[in-house]
Structure 1
């Protein structure tokens, strides 16, 4: 890859995923163990920071992205209460679902969308898919070998398997995998949330790291849920888009 192309990809990364990572480093730090012992109601400050960011992005976003952001928040609320409070898949520092988490899911979701829409990213889509796939394999394998992360490794393999025949969604979910992996490392190291040492705390044969490597698999449900809600509200426009896409693929 030429230096010019590498620079353009780096800029695209910084303007999307880079900004997101910086935001999460700051916001999650406000809910960290370090801050919580020094500042009362630390989680409220994290929520305030996340809501301000969500409001700014929502205001600047086009109508379709705004709608998807709202759907992501709704699904995030339901999913967090199901997986965290209901199934005990993981737990937050105060044993609740922090108010900043659902809008955080929406921000992660649209950041991956924005990244994949960058011109330089589209131009080098196939190369990025290959690089990201290699990263996922190495990352999951290291977690398996160094942290006995059977649960995360299994989910990582499922991500790769499910995307093998879906090239249109591959880069988006590979990007999401990497973003979520970094955010999970940040959040667990800050003590914002913790994962049990086995899947759901009840499957001893599925040993888990804190965090498990392939947890982005559950973002499949977020994306599918958002698209399903969007299609339900815009059936005619969605069918028209599918028809146009089919015609383009036949050329």
Structure 2
């Protein structure tokens, strides 16, 4: 599927998004049924990167409650343009510490916390803004022990310490864990196994942090595998908004 070109009639775009949302909802519901899970146990987070605020507003009109961005310079103006909606904003990309203050102004959750310096920056920003921000530790199954993966994320052996730091940080709330299906390493091309390992990490984490129940995993191409493996949040972009134009 492709997105209706910019400038196309708003009602046509709304109908297109509604049809795409219905297909994604059907996929999630079917995956939940297969896994023996309730549909309400899985939150759809629509990733709106590269698409305009007008599309975000249409999603809100269609009943979407959660949207996400992966670049602050795109997210901040969109969040401001949609401030009159009830949307919950998630940040899901690699986050530079110097953008923490901006992100703390609109994001309710940051899924991509992967280093101590970022915990400190987000804590300072959240405290200054007098807000509480939910955080997930991003786990990279293609990262070497103690390191951060190329697309962000801490190696599995670093999750416990990072989660503890988030849990102790003022202004932050440890919500759980997140991953992106790895492109390298022993789990490359095996998203179901990666997501199952994330679930095991989540189970272990809840021993010390029982409220950290969020498991953010799965995108347009692998949401079924994520739901079967226990994901509580799936991050879907192109299946809802259409194929993105290639970067120039």
- TM exceeds 0.5? no
State which structure, 1 or 2, has the greater radius of gyration over its C-alpha atoms: 1
Higher relative contact order (CA 8 A, sep 6+): 1
Q: TM-score, normalised by structure 1?
A: 0.29
Bigger proportion of residues as helix: 1
Bigger proportion of residues as strand: 2
Q: TM-score, normalised by structure 2?
A: 0.29
